[in-house]
Amino acid sequence: MTITFIGHGYVGLVTACVFADFGNKVWVIGHTKEKIERLKKGDPIIYEPGLKELLQKNLKENRIHFTLDYENAIPESDIVFIAVGTPSKKNGEASLDSVFEVAEKIGKHLKKGTTVVSCKSTVPMGTNNKLKALLFRVKPKNAEVFIASCPEFLREGNAIYDTLNPDRVIIGSDSKKATDALTELHRPINGKRVITDLASAELIKYTSNAMLATKISFANFISFYCEKTGADVETVLNAVGLDKRIGRIFMDPGVGYGGSCLPKDVRALIKMGHTLGIDTQFLDGVKSVNEQSRKNLLNKILKHTRDKTISIWGLTFKPNTDDIRDAPSVFVIQELLKHGYTISVYDLAGIANMRKIFADQLTYHVSPYEVVRNSSALVILTEWNDFKQIDLKKVKKLMRYPLIFDGRNIYEPKMMKEAGFSYFSVGRKPILK
């Protein structure tokens, strides 16, 4: 098949490279000349393990092509995927400006014959019907177009694996031609097929992300009880997770969820609920606990640091990505700067993106050891594996005071006590030296 992706973010670029690797001819349309030129040279722009190699392989095989123009890609495409961002507006509603903008361009460039337009962007229920109406309004009379919703469920940091091995492939459409085409395209991909209607496909994506956010917030909610009573949150959740009805996956206490999906999708689902007349107290609570989790760690730092010179390990919202959108680190750093702290930071992939926000307000380091030199405290905000294997004796020698605030519970309190650190984690008794 010939396929076009509009958008080259985590979803668009990864999925495009995977489908190109299956032997399809793939176009990727962007809107920034500088980024398109970088992609043509094999630079994926974003940090994702294995993506650079996959991109360069398919460029070499001439299976993937990057362009700013719709006129070359759209007319020859069998399937066009919309994979642009739907960021939150100030009121929490998902912004659909980019979705409708690219849909209109797609419609105007459709060819005589049949094309499937499939939306991978996360959009509120009813959006795909609006896209269908828009496409029919602007398309040439001799062009036949069918709309579908095919949401993605990839995890940043594991995006290639998740694209190849999803738990499920959701195809929502009222068209058998669209369903058949997308089913055939996804034939090499694992996962259970769920064939459904447009509204259900749209809601499946929001429901999945809301559930994941709920599990994280629930774990943090229980951590509040643990800190007040002296219970150990890891022991509690491990025991609860042994119940097969519950499980432990994604029920991890810490500084809360972040990234490009969970925060905005919870906000969007709340806004949709208000529009539909649904009481959203449940999701309001999920969002509130997430905010409390960040403030909880911040308050520990403000209360227990001896001076205001601190270092931070981890800036991205999770490991194996360079994404800092809605990352807890951004909130924590902003608040500490307001309180007059001098902050040095280190991350394996997120430094460049953090510079765009804070510029010279922070000191940036390329070593996890150099960043802690003469620091009065270390704050851990991302659970990179490198931090779990670090030489803590060396860290202690470099620091002015052996004080660690662990927002991801990557160390065992007993080990930290033996290493001579004062140690504050989430939902566990502090170690005071």
Q: What is the mean pLDDT of residues 13-27?
A: 97
Residue 84 pLDDT = 96
As annotated, the active-site residues are: 261
Percent of the chain with pLDDT over 70: 100
Burial class of residue 424, CB neighbours in 10 A (0-12, 13-18, 19+): buried
Extents of the domains making up the chain: 2-204, 262-424
Name the pLDDT band for 384 (thresholds 50, 70, 90): very high
Instruction: Indicate the helix (H) or strand (E) that contains 56.
Output: helix 51-60
Domain 2-204: give its CATH superfamily. Answer: NAD(P)-binding Rossmann-like Domain (3.40.50.720)
> CB within 8 A of 351, min separation 6: which ones?
315, 345, 364, 366
Residue 113 pLDDT = 79
> CB within 8 A of 303, min separation 6: which ones?
none
Name the average pLDDT for the chain: 96
Q: Is pLDDT of 176 > 90?
A: yes
Residue 112 pLDDT = 82
Q: Is pLDDT of 289 > 90?
A: yes
Q: What is the mean pLDDT of residues 209-224?
A: 98
Equal fold, 2-204 vs 262-424: yes
Percent of the chain with pLDDT over 90: 98
Model's pTM, two decimal places? 0.94
Domain 262-424: give its CATH superfamily. Answer: NAD(P)-binding Rossmann-like Domain (3.40.50.720)
Question: What is the per-residue pLDDT across 333-350, written as a single tens digit (0 to 9) for each?
Answer: 999 999 999 999 999 999
Q: What is the mean pLDDT of residues 392-418?
A: 97
